[in-house]
Amino acid sequence: MNALVLTPRQQRFVDAYSQTGNALRSAVDAGYKPDNAGQQGHALLKNPKVRSAIESALKDSAPIITRDVIVRELWGNHLTHRTDNPQASNRALELLAKLGGMMVERSEMTVTVEQAAGVIEQRIAELEQELAVNDPVDA
């Protein structure tokens, strides 16, 4: 008997996981109840037969990482860890917000007063020139 014989549901999990890399979503797609799909997905990933089948499937095909795959994985991480690991859940939400453009990275810039004054004076001179060119009163 083949050591890698999987149940139909395990095989569906392997097929889904090799495409998405998301254990929660793959467990749901394989037919597990959404209420315990996170735990089932985690358990399936620890199953040596399932793990071996996933590794074999991944060797046969290059993983395709798209924005959709990343979003699904992060959302799955949030759903899986929202009660047992709130920090991981919050981090997944933070990364989703950044990916969606709702958050930006903060950067710091050090500018001396002299540098700022120079930039301001230059801009004032530019504006004065524009006013002089566009002002018909002096013409």
40-89 pLDDT, tens digit per residue, is 999 999 999 999 999 888 887 765 677 787 888 888 888 888 888 888 88
Check if the beta carbon of residue 128 is closer than 8 Å to that of residue 103.
no
Q: What is the pLDDT at residue 1?
A: 42
Tracing tokens 């735990």 back to the chain, one arrives at 39
Q: What is the DSSP letter of 61?
A: S
Is the Cα torsion angle 122, 125, 127, 130 positive or negative in sign? Answer: negative
Radius of gyration of the chain (CA): 28
Q: How far apart are CA 74 and CA 81, in angstroms?
A: 11
104-134 pLDDT, tens digit per residue, is 777 777 888 888 898 899 999 999 888 887 7
User: What's the rounded mean pLDDT across residues 88-95?
Assistant: 87
Identify the three-state secondary structure at position 108. Answer: coil
Rounded to the nearest 5°, which phi and psi values hold at 6? -110, 155
In this prediction the pTM is 0.46
In this prediction, residue 135 has a pLDDT band, given cuts at 50, 70 and 90, of low
Length of the chain: 139
Q: What is the DSSP letter of 100?
A: T
Side-chain half-sphere exposure of 37, counting CA atoms within 13 A: 21
Query: What CATH number labels 1-64?
Result: 1.10.10.1400
- What element of type H or E holds 6? none
What residues contact residue 77 under an 8 Å CB cut-off, 6+ apart?
Answer: 88, 89, 92
Rounded to the nearest 5°, which phi and psi values hold at 29? -60, -30
